[in-house]
Amino acid sequence: MNRVRAVRGRGTVSGVPRHAPVDLPVQQLRIFIVLGEELHFGRAAERMVMTQPHVSRSLIALERRVGGRLLDRTSRRVQLTTLGEHLHAELSAAYDHVAQALERAQRAAVGVSDTLVVGCTATTAGPAVTALVEAFEGSHPGYRVRIREVPLNHPYDALRKAAVDVLVFWLADDDPEFSNGPVIEEQPMVLAMRRGHPLSRQKEVTLEALAEYGVPAMAGVDGPKTLEHALYPSVTPTGRPIPRIGSPCRTMSEAIDTLARTDAAKPTGQSLAHSNAHRRDLVFRPIIDAAPLRLGPVWLRARRSEAVSAFAATAGMQSASCQG
Q: What does the pLDDT read at residue 143?
A: 85
First CA to last CA distance, the chain: 51
Q: What are phi and psi of 189, to 5 degrees?
A: -85, 140
Express each pLDDT in 41-67 by its tens digit. Answer: 988 888 888 899 999 999 999 999 999
H or E element that contains 69: none
Q: What does the pLDDT read at residue 320?
A: 63
Residues in Cβ contact with 306 at an 8 Å cutoff, skipping those fewer than 6 apart: none
User: Domains of the chain (ranges plus CATH)?
Assistant: 3-102 (1.10.10.10), 112-185+294-323 (3.40.190.10), 189-291 (3.40.190.10)
Residues of the chain with pLDDT under 70: 1-24, 103-104, 106-113, 220-222, 319-324
Q: Are 116 and 88 in contact (CB under 8 A)?
A: no
Q: What does the pLDDT read at residue 9?
A: 44
Distance CA 172, CA 247 (A): 27
Q: Are 192 and 258 in contact (CB under 8 A)?
A: no
Q: Is the pTM of this model over 0.75?
A: no
Closest CA to 77 of 105, 100, 101, 43: 43
Residue 190, classed as helix, strand or coil, is: strand
Question: Which DSSP string do the residues of 249-314 spell out, in sequence order?
Answer: ESSHHHHHHHHHHSS--EEEEHHHHHHTTT-TTEEEEEBTTSPPEEEEEEEEGGG--HHHHHHHHH
Q: What does the pLDDT read at residue 307?
A: 87
- Angle at 110 (CA atoms; ends 109, 113), nearest 5 degrees: 95
